[in-house]
Structure formats: structure tokens, C-alpha cells
Structure 1
């Protein structure tokens, strides 16, 4: 159930302080509420800039629980459908996390640089708003929001289930879509040898995946992208990665502003259309992975500092989209020093961004850094941030995708030793020109990436992957139009996630490769109780069960086909110490050992 409250009252003089009161209909826990408030008549281009000279904050209260949420200028309140650039509507989006009676109180203030808050110039209250609503039980099947209460995994607040990411990293310019207002590519000057694209995305291959009850805007726009999300969800994809600002970067077709040359005015109809897409992804259980800039433009705003323009940008992103159930704020693609950009954010600037989100995102969404590839870059850029409790994790880029197990475990251990454990996901696999091959490519690297990258990350205690499509592949990181190009890969990626979800207490397990005789195999264990041994190359394994006791059942899982466990009634005894495990066929296999209850 989505709830929008329109307060249809006569507009008074903007200089007068007026309080509007409203009682809303009941809603369910975790459902999105959009409060719509009248304010001064203005526009995106008004001299009295509505994005900088006004600030709306609304505080929601339930007993002792209080949360203050930023609002935003919304044009006529229906800009996604009307394309309006002007109007007198401000909005706030909220998702209640408690049942019972809620009240809210909001203020729209005006003043020079009012959006900065604090002592940013003289301000006065233009309008005040208050009201109440009742929140009932969560709807059946509701997971709630993703929260961080485990050192290695996110967890759904309502269901209590842990979240493993099985997502797509491409196209990074997902939002460079022809059906969004104000969207264009301002330059086709692509770097030689890297990804190129002709025109904006249309995703026409997914038009037939659109459902008759699915959302759209402006008499049918958006259907192909909505259909693409439907397809991805149908094959188990639960996360999408996208840039929100690629001015000066690769695609040069995505930004939240009214143009690529203006950084303090936002395109309200385009952002309202983005919200329709994000709402739909949210309804499908997908994480929204917001990548806030590219390596080429990480100093575009305020020379990399968290100054006025960057704070304005972040505030708009949080106000408009921070309410979603599953949000990742990524500081930027390949964040930090590199060989091909003249400027970059340093550790202080990175820390300032991380601190800004910790202070100003009322939902405390997950914050990560996307890495440059290679251990030298890791040591230079990311080691100095160890111990930062406000950073949620690293979005690992691996130049060598087959190092996933080693790199994941190393940075889990380093961050834990520093006193602030980080979550580790693999969010780009190299080399840059290849990534994950399409299903029909020959030769094909999918088997290797499944065994050594996907399972390598998960078997180290990592939290999952998003697949990147290299520059020299069809349907690549910039020109992808048909996600079905990797259909087989999505399915075996989902098989891995389902194995962990259905058969393992993985939140209580850890990587224990040292229990195996071969270094080319992986072990994940809660010692003495449950073990998973992964055989990337299908060779027999030897597992050390000495120091434990009892008998263990042995079952096998086919990572390529998924399905049920293969059980031939095999048992091994801890008293044997070193036990041999022989896979039932060729290729990669997972072996599950569980302690047999005493009779």
C-alpha cells in the first residue's frame, strides 16, 4: 500500500507563518508514505532557488522514537507524469519502522543557503505542518529494511533473514534512459579501446517483460526499463548498480540536475521518474546501489571536499531516495588515486563524505567504497580507512577475479582486527575489457567466475557479487540493452545464494581453508557442527575433522544446476581425522557436512 496525502488548502502569503494540520489514513509498517505540502509558488529556474534557499525537515514521532527526515521541492507534485518545472509543492517520503500512532511536525524555512542548516544565514519559517497517522502490522511477506547488526552481513529488519547480494553491475549508466525527462548524452568522445554507446538506452528487448499492472509515466513511458527489472527479478537478481552522476565520466548521460552544466538545480520530473523505477525495484526486493560519482569526476563538486555543492547533492539523494528498503550509498566508482585522472579524493575527503552520511541520512543506510583493482591500490587508498566504524564495507573491484577468496578473507580479517569489521562484496570483476562473458561467448569464463569468484567470495564470508560486463563484450558496461545476454549466469548465481539461504547458518560460519589439504579448495565452517567444502576443479578433497567428534552426513550440491542436495547416505566419522570427499561428477561441486544428531 502506498499512501500519498495531499493537503488541499488555500495558499497564503509565503512570508506568513501558517500551520497545516492533517490526520492521515492508516498504513502498514514499512510502507512508503509521501506527505505533500503546499508552499510558495516557484520553479526549478526561479531566481529564489527552491533547492538552496528553502529547507523542509519533518520529524516523525512514535513514543520515545523520533526520526527527522529531509524533504524536497516537487514542482506540482506529479512531475513524473506532467513534466512540470514549477509549482508550489514540497514533499517528504517516509517509511515507518514501528507500529502504533505516529505524529509528525515539519517546517519549511527560507534563507540564503537554508539547505545547509545550522548557521547558514538568517532564516525564517515560511510554513509549518503537523499531523498524525496510525501504522498497523507489516503486510504478509514483508522483509522490512536492510540493517547492519552483523560484522559481515546485512539483515532484513522485519524477517530477520540475512541478505546475500546476487546483482548486476552493468550497465553503469542504467539511468541514461531515453524515457527519462531531461536525459541526453552531451559528448560522444569515448576513450579509445573502452566501452562506447550509440544514443541513450531504450531496453527495447525487455518491452515484452512489462506487466499490465506495472507502473509507467507520461502515457506509457518507462515500460521497457520496468520490464527489464521484472526479468532480472525472475532469474534471482536482487541488486542493481547505477551511477547517479557521470558528468566528465564514461557515459556522460546521467545526472540529477536540469543540465550537465548546472549543479544547484534539480530536474524534478526526471527525479520523480527515477523514483517510479526505484519503487518498482524495491517492490521486487532489489537493493538500490547508488554510485554517487565516477573516478573521473570525484572532484567535480567542491574539488572533492564535502562543501556546499556536494552537500546539496547528497541531501537531495537522501531526501528523495533514502527511504527505500535496501539502499547502498557508494562514494564513487574506483574512488581514490589513479593513473588516468589528474585529481582524486584523498582519505580525508573520503572520511568527510562517510561522516556526512552518518550524520545526515536518517535511515543509516549502508555506505561503501568501490575500490581500484590490485593490492597496491588497496594498501595506499583503503588501509588508512581501517577502523572507520561509519564505513560499512568495500565494494571490491578485482583485476584478477580468481583472487576473490583470498582478497575477501584478507580484508575481512584486517577490518575486524582494526575494530570495525567491514562487509565485503565483489562489485566488479576484471580485466576491464572482459568482465563476465555473455552466455554464447567462445571461449567462455563463466565456469571459472562461478567457481572462483562467486563461490570464492561467499566461502570466505563475503556478502555476494554484482556482475560487470567488459568493454569488449556485446551488451557491455555502457551499451547493454538486453540483460538476457547473461541469463545462464544469473541462474547459477542465484543457485549459490539459495544454497546458503536454505542449508547454512552462514551468519555463524567463517572461512577455514586451513582445514583442507589443498590450497585450491575452499572451506566454510562452524567447526564441529557444519562444514561446506567447495571444489572449484572437481578434484577430491581431504578435510581435517580432528578435534571434533561424532558422525557427519555428506551431501553434494551442483552449483551449475542448483536444485536439491544429492544424498547417497554417505557418512564420515570425526574419529578418522582426515576424511576424503570425492565429488559425484566432473566440474565444480559443493560438499555439505552436518553433524549427525546422537540417537
Structure 2
């Protein structure tokens, strides 16, 4: 039987048995990232008054070995650069790190890439290792950086129990969940490229075990190999499709995100987490906006933080800042509403819109607008500059506006019906 060791600090003294089952009402934390109760196609930040705040995520989809970087100490902890990477990210507004708990046992790491005492699953979780992870997660959480925590790397398989989650694995999952579920900026992910070693039934069982142990109901994702067909569209324990989509062009990325959003039919949200060569694209900012305008969160593969230009991270931060100033959790892709030089559109038709273009030619617009008074916020995607236009009178139908002077080639404009 696996021996579980957890920290005894008061805030973390949580029972190892499940505190809440799937049918129990969640006990969300103030400001926690949750699935939008009104629209599971998006995540929001929880507010007890029901006025949840829009949330957007864009940032590094690496380094997956974050938790295992640096010289290995005798007690299993690491002498690495983790805190330096977090501090670098804090300055930019990019708001996630893609990291993995278990990379051994067939994964991409070596035999030490796990949180077990002496790296032996039979000896249970190491309190010292989890304590060190907690220092990093706490720093991320306080800065609003999402801990996107994979339980397993691709091909990692610790317990050979077929389609079922055995008692040792269940106790391991409970230990991880109970140790870290107090964080507000946390998304669990069952596994990377899960089918390499897990059956759909086993993967679903892992998600269910996480859900049962987490009374705060943090979102749960799962990652697949290349493609847009999701294996778990109606699984009550899985909230997010972490997409791998290895295509070559920005338009293909946008079209893939649009299709994935449409296929979800509001049942789950989508996150483009892995695109071959994504972090090395010369037009990376445009690629990120194209994905976001398709209705997906953005995690940039090969953006390892250490070698990433701060300017690329800052571009992610500006994208996050812009979308969190909109009602994105009420929107869906509506490129058919594009007019003028607009390329892509997200909209809650009749209420609010986001139009984007990297080749606007000086004019951008929208089709199908109801007549009324609108507030427009123009945004320079490269520089972050804003231009406000309030109370703009619009006739019903198509409307095209001049892009304000001083804005660059990549522009987004938020258009919303003015509050009377």
C-alpha cells in the first residue's frame, strides 16, 4: 500500500478522503478560476455575488519539466531556476505555465522526475518535494499565473491497472489534489497525449477521482494527440479540451479553433496547448490573436520562459489584458460579421463584439449591428495603446470605421451597446 505524506500546516490539513462528490455544490474560493456556470465554453473568476469576472489565459506552453529543473538534492528537492522563471513571467502579464508532476515511468523525463520519496511510488509522496512545489505554486498564484498541472506526461504509466484507477493511484491523486487545491489559479490536466498509455475509461476515472477530491471544483483538462475531435465531450468530470493541432498557417490555426469551439456546443472550453513550432513563429503575436479570436485559450509550445524574449511574453500579457476587459465569456466566433478590413470577429450579437485585423488597411467594421449608441475601444495589439470612442451613433446593418491615427498594423476593437 502506498504511504502518503502530506504537510501539516493548518491551511493544508485536508482529509485524504473525498470531501465532496460530483453532485455536491462546489465551494469555490474568491477569485478562483472556475467553469462559467452560465456558459461552460469559457472560464471565469468566481465572485460570491454571481457577477463572475471574465478570465483569459495566454502564455507559456512549456517548460513541461519545470518542476524537475536543476540539480537534484539528496532529499528529492531541486536546486533550479524555477523562481527566476516565475519572476520573469510576473513582469509581463503572460499568465500560465505548463508543467508536469510525473515525467518518469515511460515519460520524457528520467527516473527522478516524480514527487515520490526516493522516486519510488511504493514509498509515497515526498512532503519535502511537495513543500518545494508549494513555494513555486504560491508565488505563481499570488501573481495570477495559472498552474496548469499535468498529472502525467505522455507515455508515463506508474500503475498498470488497466481501465481502472487502483487504490494506490487513487491515494496518490488524493495527495496531490489535497495538497494544492487551495490555490485559485489552478487547472488540473489528466495527462499529455493521454492515449499513449491510458485508455479513455482510465483517463475518465482519473478525472473523476480529481473531481471527487477537489471540493473547490477547479477546471479539469485532458490533452490528446493531434486533432480536433474530442474524446470526452460529455464527461461530467472534464471541462477543457487541451488541443494539439500541428498546422502550418495562422488561418489554419484560427479555423481549427473556430471548429473546436463549435464542436464543443457549449459543453466544455478549448485551449490550444500544443502547435509544432508555435514558439518559433516569426508572426507569433498574430498566431496567438488568431487562436484567441477563434474562441480558444492560448498556451505557446516551446515558449520555455528562460530563452523566451520578454517582448513575446509581454504580447501575451497584452492579449490577456484586452480580453479580460471584454465580456468574452458571453461571446462566440462570428467571422461572418466581419466588414471592412476586419479579419476575425467574436461576438455576443446585439450586445458586444470584438473585431481584429492584422491587415486592416485603415478601416474596420462589423455587419448586422442593431441601430443604437455604441462605445468603441480601439486597441493596438503590439503596443497596448487604447483609443476610446463613446456614444458612437450606428444605423442598423453594416458599419465601417476609420482606424484611429497612431495605431499600428495589428488592431482589435471592442464594440458594445452603450449603457443607457
Q: TM (normalized to structure 1)? A: 0.60
- Give, in angstroms, the shift of residue 251 of structure 1: 2.6
CA distance in 2, matches of 1:232, 1:538: 31
Aligned to 2:290: 456
Q: Does 1:305 align with 2:171?
A: no
Q: Does 1:228 align with 2:85?
A: yes
What is aligned with 1:146? 33
Which residue number corresponds to residue 589 of structure 1? 411
Match of 2:300 among 453, 467, 472: 467
- The answer on whether the counterparts of 1:177 and 1:183 sit within 8 Å (CA) in structure 2 is no
Distance in 1 (CA, whole Å) between partners of 2:182 and 2:418 is 45
Residue number in structure 2 paired with 1:374: 227
* Partner SS, residue 291 of structure 1: strand
Q: What's the offset of the Cα at 1:361? A: 2.3
TM superposition shift of 1:422:
0.6
Report the alpha carbon displacement of residue 489 of structure 1 after superposing the two structures with TM. Answer: 1.0
| Matches for 1:417-436 after TM superposition, within 5 Å | 421-430=267-276, 434-436=277-279
Q: 1:560 to 1:184 in 2, by over 3 A?
A: same
Equivalent position of 1:511 in the other structure? 333
1:557, CA displacement in angstroms? 1.4
1:265 aligns with 2:124: yes
Contact 1:512 1:524 in 2 (8 A): yes
In 2, are the aligned partners of 1:538 and 1:586 still within 8 Å (CA)? no
Which of 51, 65, 70 is the aligned partner of 1:178?
Answer: 70
Residue in 2 aligned with 1:157? 46
Task: Identify which of structures 1 and 2 has the higher relative contact order when contacts are C-alpha pairs closer than 8 Å and 6+ apart.
Answer: 2
Q: Counterparts of 1:398-547 in structure 2 under 5 Å?
A: 398-400=245-247, 402=250, 403-416=252-265, 421-430=267-276, 434-437=277-280, 445-447=281-283, 449-452=284-287, 454-462=288-296, 464-469=297-302, 483=306, 485-502=308-325, 504-516=326-338, 521-539=343-361, 543-546=365-368
Q: How far apart, CA to CA, are the structure 1 residues paired with 2:84 and 2:414?
A: 37
Q: 1:169: how far off?
A: 1.9
What TM-score, normalized by structure 2, do the two folds share?
0.82
Structure 1 residues without counterparts, runs of 5 or longer: 1-48, 53-71, 78-89, 96-103, 109-114, 118-141, 186-199, 204-224, 338-343, 438-444, 470-475
Distance of aligned partners of 1:182 and 1:428 in 2 relative to their CA distance in 1, 3 Å threshold = farther
| Native 8 Å contact 2:341 2:357 kept in 1 | no
Secondary structure of 2:67 counterpart? coil
What SS does the aligned partner of 1:244 have? strand
What is the aligned partner in structure 1 of residue 25 from structure 2?
Answer: none
For residues 216-267 of structure 1, the C-alpha deviation after alignment (integer angstroms, 9 at most, x for no partner) is xxxxxxxxx2232122111112222111101122232420112345444222
Rounded to whole Å, the distance in 2 between the matches of 1:409 and 1:353 is: 29
CA contact (8 A) 2:93 2:320 kept: no
Compared with structure 1, are the counterparts of its residues 309 and 161 closer, same or farther at alpha carbon in structure 2 (3 Å cutoff)? same
Cα deviation per residue 1:13-61 (whole Å; 9 max; x = unaligned)? Answer: xxxxxxxxxxxxxxxxxxxxxxxxxxxxxxxxxxxx7x54xxxxxxxxx
What's the counterpart of residue 202 of structure 1?
Answer: 80
Residue pairs, 1:35-46, within 5 angstroms: none
SS of the aligned residue for 1:328 comes to: strand
Number of corresponding residues: 400
User: Rg larger in 1 or in 2?
Assistant: 1
Instruction: Tell me the distance in 2 between the aligned counterparts of 1:510 and 1:371.
Output: 23
Q: Distance in 1 between matches of 2:410 and 2:18?
A: 54
- Answer yes or no: is 1:549 the counterpart of 2:402: no
Which residue, out of 379, 390, 400, partners 1:580?
400
CA distance in 1, matches of 2:160, 2:65: 19
* 8 Å Cα contact 1:292/1:331 also seen in 2: yes
SS in 2 for 1:349: helix
Deviation (angstroms), 1:372? 1.4
Deviation at 1:332, TM superposition (A): 0.8
Match of 1:562 among 373, 384, 401: 384
Structure 1 runs of 4+ aligned residues shifted over 6 Å read: none
Contiguous gaps of at least 5 residues in structure 2: 20-28
Structure 1 residue aligned with 2:5: 73
Q: Deviations over 1:508-554 (max 9, x none)?
A: 22221111258981111232333221113334666453462135455
TM superposition shift of 1:558: 0.9
